[in-house]
Structures are given as structure tokens and as C-alpha cells.
Chains A and B, each alone.
Chain A
């Protein structure tokens, strides 16, 4: 049985990577054509780190998370969790695996069933995975979960419509942590929430990560948030990763033109932040639809450093400095 590999005390991880994604592709066939949502990406997440995935709409970042958790089956490529190949759909995965990898969705309003009470929502994973086997144990564990996310105990009797968006999201997070997972995928967990509630939730997520030594895949479009959360950051554009580096390196020395464009466009509040931003790159043009990806480098139609080769050939990922990867002809030539 594969169970042994999955237990946390089990097999030693290669390079300390809990998750490795290689040549991952996910295509969707639609009426308009083939949508190449995820188009050949590689990255790894080390155990205990917060890996950030940044991108705008059409970048494919959510699709990456959904494929990892098993909502989709990869079109091509490999996903390895704790040295074990998991490139399959959720229904083909073992229950053990389902316990280990959990996801928190973006919209708190539709992530939890409005017709179920908070108690019912939180006890479901406990029941399915036989974590607590009678009503009393389950109630205790549910109360513990609520306490963990700083929600009052009597919320077990309430329904989603009676609580606010931030609290709903905390219930989603509690539900994800109910099975004691190792890897948690967070798909824009605070995008739909106000700044003060966002702060509360992110603070709590970071605390929980430290307490339980969790690994996170943290997806957001908010670069300022990413700066304070992630240890490594990768930026995606139309299904490919453009740049991948440690968080400090990524923000201090952004190399890819898209990264520069994005960083220079974000509105900031203080002058120190303003100084930190790269020189203003005016964003031009529309984001192409993923059905109609431009030839060559997918970014060339909006790139301020475009060269001839960019519309013809797709660049490959190169390691410019240790741990800092970029996929751009500018750097390939210099190597």
C-alpha cells in the first residue's frame, strides 16, 4: 500500500521538496478552440515553505492549483507529492492522499454550502476520514477547529448566511485544516475581502503554517501581499512561468519585462514603496485570450523590450543567478 510514503514521518523527500511539478500541461477543449490554460510549467515547493504564484486573469494560476488538488487530470506532465506520482484525478486518488492535500477557494460565499450549518460543514471531513468516531468527539474537534481560526464556539449552530465574508473564509480554512494536511493550496483566499479582514486572515494563515509546519501554494494577483507572505515567488503569463525566484530576489531585482510591468503598475501608499518599484513601464494592449496565444513568446505583443526573435521563438527557462529563473530572450542571449 502506498500509505507509508504519505505519512509525514515517512520517506525522505528529495531536495526537501514536498511537491514537484514537471512539464505540466492542462488544455481544455472548448467551442472557441483549445484553451491552453497551463502550458508546460515546472516548479517545486519545499516542505514548510510558502510558494507564491502570481498572475493576472488568463495566466492559468488557478488551473495549476485545481490540477494539483485533483479537480482536473493533467493533459501532460507529472505532479509528484512526497516522491509519489499523483498525476491523476481526485476520484482516482486514495483517501490518504485526499487528507494530505487541501484547497481553499477564492470566493467565501460559494465555498461552503449555504444550507448546511457550520457544524455540519466542519464535521464532514472528520466523519469521512474517521478522525473522530462519535458525536461527542466530533463536536469537540469542531470546537477546537473553530478556536484555531479564532471563531466563537457557538458558531457551530449558525449558518453561512448569518456570518460575514471573512468569517466564511475562516470556516473554509478550518475545514481545509480539519484533516491535518501537509500541503494547502490557497487560491486568492483574500481577494474578495477588505484589507483589515485580509490582514487578520493572512496573519492567521502564517501562524498556522508555523504551528503545524504546513507547506502552502499561495496564489494571488496582489504583489504587495505576496511580498509579505511568500518565501519564493513565480509569475505566470498565459499558462507559462515567466520568472521564478526567492521572494526577496524577485522584488529586489525583477528581470522579466512582464514582472517589471506588473510591479511598476501597482498602486502603493508610501514613498519608500514608490522608490522600490522598478521604473514605470506603461502597460499597453489587452491580455490576449488563452485561445489565441501569440506565436513565439506569448508576451511579445505587450513587451516594451521586444526584439525580432520574440515573435518567432518561444524562450526557455534559464537560471540567471542561483535560484533565479527567467524565461526571456533578453537573458538567453546574455548567457
Chain B
């Protein structure tokens, strides 16, 4: 009984916070556009089987009679050289892109933030030096090259590509969290809690981490676009999702050879890629606005 009353009042205050956040978010028109674009993409990705009419286009399918068709009513984005519907493939490609971001960011954030928390809290100890030097090593190698090298060693498929990108990506979260933690490490509210005698685990995850959340969430939203881009770059060179799985990068690569005659083969996936990245970037800006306290 008490718990429900507790949560009721808590919800009402939380609802006010949600409304306030929406207000801050909606001041910028572009953020709303970003939000709409992301919603559309999510919707398309989730309901792909119900929207598309040529589901066979994402599997091993050839239909040379319908190949190289320009955009038409039955094939809104045209067909590729195998006769597959590009519209269907684009929609399904969204799924791959979103899946990739989700997996990569889940792994990166978990590893990176935890390491950053620990290194920052125990600043100037051997833990700090060890973690941050490893981070520096990873950071000194350009992301794409590192990902390529790892992919070259491992078998070529989507899973290994995601692992490769994660191995590169965690470092940014580690660095960022480290920066925030070292700056609030000496604040009175952390000292006060230490003086009370709270355990380290509690301090790290319940007292320090919540103060990093706003920056982490903002970065995650902005990173979705970047991860998708890197994934597409990798599949552009043949890594990542393997045929016949539809993936934006490989679709763009495959169609590049046939420019400018069969322009629709690269054009539509490219536009789709731009939309995804732009949408998440604009959304990320809006989320950043929610966490920014403006003078008032």
C-alpha cells in the first residue's frame, strides 16, 4: 500500500519533469524534425515485414526478368542487378543499422563507462594509470583502421564486425566518463558520502554515475549515427553484413559501379543513410538541450 502511494507521488513529480524536459526539447524545431525522422525509421524497421511487398528481396533471390528496373509503382526504389526490390532492401537495411548501433553501443557503454568510473575515482593510483594508458593506446589508432584490422583477422560476418567496432568505441566513453568523474571527485557531496562511510560500489554507481548520465545519454544518441556510418564504411569494403543481407553500405557500394545509368541503386540507400545519421544527430542535439540548464 505504502509503496503505491510513494510511486504515485513520485510519478507526479516525474511527470512534471517529463513535461519540463519536453518544453526544453521542443524549443528547437530541428530537434523535433530529428525526433520525427527517428520515429519513422524505428517504425519502418520494426514493421518492415508488413510494409514491404517483396520480402524475398532480402534473401537469396534472383529474378533477372525484373532486374535493373528504374523506380516504378511496383518497385518504388527500382530493382538492382539481381532483380531485388531496393525499397524492401532499404527498409530491412535499417534493421541491420539499428541492430548494429544497439549492440555496439551497449557493449561500449558498459565497458567504457565502468572503466572510466573506476579509473577516475581512483585517480593517480595504479588502476587509473593502467586503464587510461590502455585507453590511450586504443585511442591513438584511427577507428576505421583498427576495426579493419580486427575484421581482417576474424571471420567475416556481422557479429565480428560489431565486436570490432565495440573494441574501438568503448575508449571514448571511458575518456569522457573519466573526465567527468575526476572533476566531481573532489566535490563536497562526494566527500560527504565518503565521510559517512558508504561503500565504494555504492559511491561509484549510485552517487557518481548519475552525474555522468546526461553526458552519456547525449553522446549515445549522437553516436548512433556515427556507428551506422562506420558500419556502412566497413560493409562498403566488404566487411560487415555479408550478402544477401541488405545493408546500406554494401548497397551503396554495389550500386556505385553502375553510376550514372542505374542511379537508383546507390541513390536511395545513400539518402536513407543520410536520413538515419541526420535524424539521430538532430535528436541528440535536442536531448543535449534537455540537460542544459539555461539562465532564466
Q: Does B194 count as interface, using CB distance less than 8 angstroms?
A: yes
CB contacts under 8 Å to A, within B177-235, are 187-199, 206-207, 210-211, 213
Name the distance in Å between A179's Cβ and chain B's nearest Cβ.
8
A102 to B198, CA, bound (A): 14
Q: A115-B211, A116-B207 are in contact. Are A136 and B196 (CB under 8 A)?
A: no
A4 to B194, CA, bound (A): 24
Q: A95-B197, A124-B198 are in contact. Are A111 and B10 (CB under 8 A)?
A: no
Kindly list chain A residues whose C-beta atoms are within 8 Å of the C-beta of B191: 71, 105
Check B210–A124 contact: CB distance below 8 A: no
Name the distance in Å between A100's Cβ and chain B's nearest Cβ.
12
Chain A contributes a number of interface residues (CB within 8 A of B) equal to 31
Kindly list chain A residues whose C-beta atoms are within 8 Å of the C-beta of B199: 128
Q: A71-B191, A110-B188, A157-B9 are in contact. Are A98 and B197 (CB under 8 A)?
A: yes
Name the distance in Å between B190's Cβ and chain A's nearest Cβ.
8
- Render A247-263 as a binary contact track against B, CB cut-off 8 A, 1 for contact: 00000000000000000
Check A175–B192 contact: CB distance below 8 A: yes
Q: Does B29 count as interface, using CB distance less than 8 angstroms?
A: no
Kindly list chain A residues whose C-beta atoms are within 8 Å of the C-beta of B6: 157
CB contacts under 8 Å to A, within B247-281, are none
A223 to B78, CA, bound (A): 84
Q: Does A70 count as interface, using CB distance less than 8 angstroms?
A: yes
Q: Does A301 count as interface, using CB distance less than 8 angstroms?
A: no
Check A113–B189 contact: CB distance below 8 A: yes
Which of A90, A103, A114 is B211 in contact with, Cβ under 8 Å?
Answer: A114
Q: A114-B211, A154-B9, A157-B13 are in contact. Are A103 and B189 (CB under 8 A)?
A: no
Kindly list chain B residues whose C-beta atoms are within 8 Å of the C-beta of A179: 196
Check A110–B213 contact: CB distance below 8 A: no
Name the distance in Å between B19's Cβ and chain A's nearest Cβ.
14
Q: Does B2 count as interface, using CB distance less than 8 angstroms?
A: yes
Name the distance in Å between B1's Cβ and chain A's nearest Cβ.
11
Check A136–B2 contact: CB distance below 8 A: yes
Kindly list chain A residues whose C-beta atoms are within 8 Å of the C-beta of B2: 136, 139
Check B196–A125 contact: CB distance below 8 A: yes
Name the distance in Å between B126's Cβ and chain A's nearest Cβ.
17
Which of A90, A102, A115, A154 is B194 in contact with, Cβ under 8 Å?
Answer: A90
Q: Does A84 count as interface, using CB distance less than 8 angstroms?
A: no
Check B188–A128 contact: CB distance below 8 A: no
A3 to B13, CA, bound (A): 43
Kindly list chain A residues whose C-beta atoms are within 8 Å of the C-beta of B13: 157-158
Name the distance in Å between B113's Cβ and chain A's nearest Cβ.
15
Q: A113-B207, A116-B210, A157-B10 are in contact. Are A105 and B196 (CB under 8 A)?
A: no
Kindly list chain B residues whose C-beta atoms are within 8 Å of the C-beta of A175: 192, 196
Q: Does A112 count as interface, using CB distance less than 8 angstroms?
A: yes
A172 to B10, CA, bound (A): 22
A110 to B211, CA, bound (A): 12
Q: Taking each of B194, B197, B210, which has the highest tally of chain A beta carbons within 10 Å of its own beta carbon?
A: B197
Check A128–B196 contact: CB distance below 8 A: yes
Kindly list chain B residues whose C-beta atoms are within 8 Å of the C-beta of A110: 187-189
Name the distance in Å between A124's Cβ and chain B's nearest Cβ.
6
Kindly list chain B residues whose C-beta atoms are within 8 Å of the C-beta of A111: 188-189, 192
Nearest CB in chain A to that of B6: its residue: A157
Nearest CB in chain B to that of A101: its residue: B195
Q: Does A129 count as interface, using CB distance less than 8 angstroms?
A: yes
A158 to B13, CA, bound (A): 8
Check A112–B189 contact: CB distance below 8 A: yes
Name the distance in Å between B209's Cβ and chain A's nearest Cβ.
9
CB contacts under 8 Å to B, within A219-267, are none
A62 to B91, CA, bound (A): 63
Q: Does A177 count as interface, using CB distance less than 8 angstroms?
A: no
Nearest CB in chain B to that of A110: its residue: B188
Closest 7 CB pairs of A and B: A115-B210, A113-B189, A105-B188, A111-B188, A98-B197, A110-B188, A125-B196
7 new A-B pairs (CB below 8 Å) besides A114-B189, A129-B196?
A: A90-B195, A98-B196, A113-B189, A115-B211, A128-B196, A128-B197, A157-B6
A-B contact list, 18 entries, CB within 8 Å: A71-B195, A90-B194, A90-B195, A98-B195, A102-B195, A103-B192, A105-B191, A110-B187, A110-B189, A112-B192, A113-B190, A113-B211, A115-B211, A120-B206, A124-B198, A125-B196, A128-B199, A129-B196
